[in-house]
Structure 1
Amino acid sequence: MAAADSKARDEEPDRLAGFPAPRETHRLYGHEDPRAQFERALGEDRLHHGWLISGPEGIGKATLAYTLAREVLAHDRAGDDPDDPEGPLFHQVAGRAHPNLLILNRTFNPKTKRYSQWIGVDEVRRLRSFLGGTAAQSGWRVIIVDRADELNAQAANALLKGLEEPPAKTVFLLVATAEGRLPVTIRSRCRSLRLHPLEDEEVDHAAREALAAVDHTLDEETLQTAIALAEGSVRRALVLTGGEGIALYGEILQAFRNLPKLDAAWLHKKAEKLSAPGNTEQLELFFALLLGLLERLIRARATETGRHASESALADDLIRDDDLGRWAEAWEAIGKAHDETLGLNLDRGVLVLDSFSRLQSLAERTNR
């Protein structure tokens, strides 16, 4: 295997390019209660064997999973400090080299130069030898599935067998953005840790630390704009700091200001670009910004408060009091259509066009 292919295979498929991966991140911001819940169970020797860590994209689910994995691997082992970024345990986990840690995720195909769309059964079959063999070190064994909602049906069944009768001192940490995609049989065998979007201050700290780790300097105005638009997601804030994301927000905001008119040339060009293979992250960012803006407009109109004066003014112009329910239904419908389009691999260009068609129809009611 070529060096580039080998390097790709050793990285998480969802890693944000140019920044440390969750396994390389030593400081966790937020999520104190879920972490404390897990630590209490570990400290009291009543640790459940399966944990489902769920929540929105980019808020630290995988970072929490690796933090908990280090704590489990260090348990009952004097000298292993799970919080020491210079210690051997941290470096083993960061390098995917700890003999008692197994990471299951989508695999890299050197022929297509892409990651597979799903976690396949062959990847999960690695679990059999991991659990059945003799570990190089005694103690706990940890399996991280990132992301568990990307398991295909066969892989989910194979994982279920491991969850049903795990060996002693084995813990599964399942990371999922859409936990509803997981079979009930898997969810029922796990304790749930549901994470929520971070506070702006936590996003600020985490984003600054990630930027510093790669020696990336950024002007304060761009950083604060990115944090304000991130909706509690560190990943989204970091994507926005690249400048392209903030420019994309500006395009979406202008499209809303133009409603009920639509710039057909812009819309079709955007739909074509976002439906292209390999542009999934751009599509995700587009809809995160669109749905985030729509939610803030609805909230501003309903409560007469808003974080952005320009958005509050737009909400007053765009949404009538008696239409609030219809706008809320549109927000929910667009979000559902987005999830179905990605989950069922439907036409992404149609998703973009249909979303703005729905918004145009609502805006036309305001102008009647």
Structure 2
Amino acid sequence: MSAADALPEPDRAGDAPHPRETERLFGQEAAEAAFLEAWNGGRMHHGWLLTGPRGVGKATLAWRIARFLLCDPPAQTDSLDPPPDHPALPRIRALSEPGLMLLRRAWDEKKKRLQAQITVEEARKLGGFFAMSSGGRRVVIVDAADELNPNAANAILKLLEEPPAQATLLLVSHQPARLLPTIRSRCRVLRLAPLPHDALVAAIAQAGGDPAGAELAEGSVGAALALAEGGAEIYAELTALFARAPMDRARARKLAESCAGRAGTDRLQMVLDAVDRLLYRAARAGLLGPGDGAEAEVLARLSPHDAAARDWARLAQEIGDRAGHARAVNVDPVAIVWDALARIDAQARKT
């Protein structure tokens, strides 16, 4: 294994197979059918925006589409499956296919960590890619478009406005509302929904995960894998913090400080995912009731009516925006988590 092969991949979920290595996509037949309808009808768009919650298969679908397009697809077909012996397949898996480029956060050799955003320096490599692959179909996967810094986003916008011949851009986006409106307007949208239970369990098994986290996963394979690898314990700690108001500040500080330093990078994402999960479930509880999960009593206290549901939904957007900006400018992870917890505490005191 080379040094490059050993670097962490920002578009891989934990120890699960990378989306380019995932053979099957479960539960997203409608999105696949929409793409095939465009292909069969000769209405292929040059830009596609794949949206939906984290972990529902957006990147896996992007790679399925890339394999389909780069393996000499017929003009009419009912499947995205490429010929199993096509010579481009091993090159795609090895990221050595000349017609394919993956744009993602790069490794910062100086700081020995992944960069917080996709930089314009990375986006500028697209110019060389299109210059070197002037013949045949070209595919670019951007995973995730939400991580483009402003200059990189403008570089992608220029490509969408003036697309090279036979180019297809596949933009994976967990939160498309944060993208430039001009980017959204120049892409055709494929919306992927949370997976139904049976598809979720099958997808978790394919990823080599434990279905124990399926109940809290809200139809997301990525969430289920994270929950089974420590995320469930973090979520339980988070809900315990808000079992009564005010929160235990010493306990909250301990949770925030667990995200400190380089070793806390993965934990920071898990804590922010837990925060997002709690806010989502609180908003839903105010509309539909708290359900019968382990945190039902906490949700009932936090969100007893629809007005509270709206407050939690607004807070989820606010905290997500603040955390995303703070991470982009390298704010201390402890401060990011503490800010989120303090805002939840302030809202909890109002209900």
Fold-level similarity (TM above 0.5) = yes
Out of 288, 295, 312, the position equivalent to 1:303 is: 288
Which residue pairs with 1:341 in the alignment? Answer: 323
CA contact (8 A) 2:99 2:133 kept: no
Q: Which amino acid aligns with 1:96?
A: L
In structure 2, the partner of 1:271 is 256
Q: Residue 56 of structure 1 contacts residue 196 of structure 1 at CA under 8 Å; is this kept in 2?
A: yes
Q: Name the SS of the counterpart of 2:11 in structure 1.
A: coil
**Cα pair distance change 1:331/1:348, threshold 3 Å:** farther
- Please tell me the residue identity of whatever aligns with 1:114: R
1:235 aligns with 2:222: yes
Deviations 1:90-147 (A, max 9, x none): 3221111211111111111223221222222222222222222345xx6321111112
Rate the CA distance shift 1:267–1:36 in 2: closer, same or farther, 3 A.
same
Measured in 2, the distance between the counterparts of 1:349 and 1:165 equals 43
- Paired positions, count: 345
Q: What's the offset of the Cα at 1:349?
A: 3.6
Correspondent of 1:38 among 18, 35, 43: 35
Distance change >3 Å, CA 38–CA 325, structure 1 → 2: same
Q: Distance in 1 between matches of 2:216 and 2:122?
A: 36
SS across alignment from 2:307? helix
> Which residue of structure 1 aligns with residue 94 of structure 2?
95
Q: Alpha carbons of 1:86 and 1:275: their partners in 2 closer, same or farther (altered >3 Å)?
A: farther
Identity of aligned residues (%): 38
RMSD: 2.9
Give yes or no for contact 2:53–2:194 (8 Å, CA) kept in 1. Answer: yes
TM-score by length of 1: 0.82
Structure 2 CA distance for partners of 1:35 and 1:47, relative to 1, 3 Å: same
CA contact (8 A) 2:282 2:299 kept: yes
User: How far apart, CA to CA, are the structure 1 residues paired with 2:276 and 2:104?
Assistant: 28
Is 1:28 the counterpart of 2:13 in the alignment? no
Contact 2:258–2:267 (Cα < 8 Å) also in 1: no
Q: Is the 8 A contact 2:31 2:191 kept in 1?
A: yes
Match runs of 1:303-322 below 5 Å: 303-304=288-289, 306-308=291-293, 310-317=294-301, 319-321=303-305
Residue pair 2:98, 2:133 contacting (<8 A) in 1 also: no
Which stretch has the larger CA shift, 332-341 or 48-57?
332-341
1:107 aligned onto 2:89: no
- Aligned mates of 1:18, 1:239 — CA distance in 2: 10
Partner-residue secondary structure (3-state), 1:14: coil
Distance in 2, Cα, partners of 1:12 & 1:86: 27
CA distance in 2, matches of 1:25, 1:52: 20
- The 8 Å contact of residues 337 and 351 in structure 1, kept in 2 or not, is answered as no
Residue of structure 2 in register with 1:120 after alignment: 119
Which AA in structure 1 matches 2:225?
L
**Structure 2 unaligned blocks of 5 or more:** none
Alpha-carbon separation, structure 1, partners of 2:10 and 2:170 = 17
**1:268-296: CA deviations, max 9, x gaps?**
11122235456344233223333423443
One-letter identity of the residue aligned with 1:47: M
Shift of 1:14: 2.9
Over 3 Å counting, the alpha-carbon distance change for 1:180 and 1:102 in structure 2 is same
Deviation at 1:237, TM superposition (A): 0.8
1:36 aligns to what SS in structure 2?
A: helix
Distance 1:262-1:184 versus aligned 2 partners, 3 A rule: closer
Moved more, 99-108 or 284-293: 284-293
Aligned residue among 235, 240, 244 for 1:249:
235
Change (3 A) 1:13 1:288: closer
What amino acid is aligned across from residue 7 of structure 1 in structure 2? D
User: In 2, Cα distance between the equivalents of 1:159 and 1:319?
Assistant: 41
Distance 1:114 1:160, change over 3 A: same
CA 1:349–1:182: 2 relative to 1, 3 Å: same
Give TM-score scaled by structure 2 length: 0.86
Counterpart of 2:258 in 1: which secondary structure?
A: helix
Structure 2 CA distance, aligned partners of 1:131 and 1:268?
49
User: If you compute each CA radius of gyration, which structure gives the higher value, 1 or 2?
Assistant: 1
- Label 1:248 to 1:63 Cα distance change in 2 as closer, same or farther (>3 A): same
How far apart are the structure 1 equivalents of 2:83 and 2:115? 34
- The one of 140, 143, 146 equivalent to 2:143 is 146
Aligned: 1:14 with 2:16: no
CA distance in 2, matches of 1:162, 1:118: 19
Aligned to 2:156: 159
**Stretches of structure 1 lacking an aligned partner (at least 5 in a row):** none
Q: CA deviation at 1:84?
A: 5.8
Does the CA-based 8 Å contact 1:203-1:232 persist in structure 2?
yes
> Residue 11 of structure 2 contacts residue 104 of structure 2 at CA under 8 Å; is this kept in 1?
no
Alignment-derived partner of residue 171 in structure 2: 174
- Counterpart of 1:293 (choices 278, 289, 292) is 278
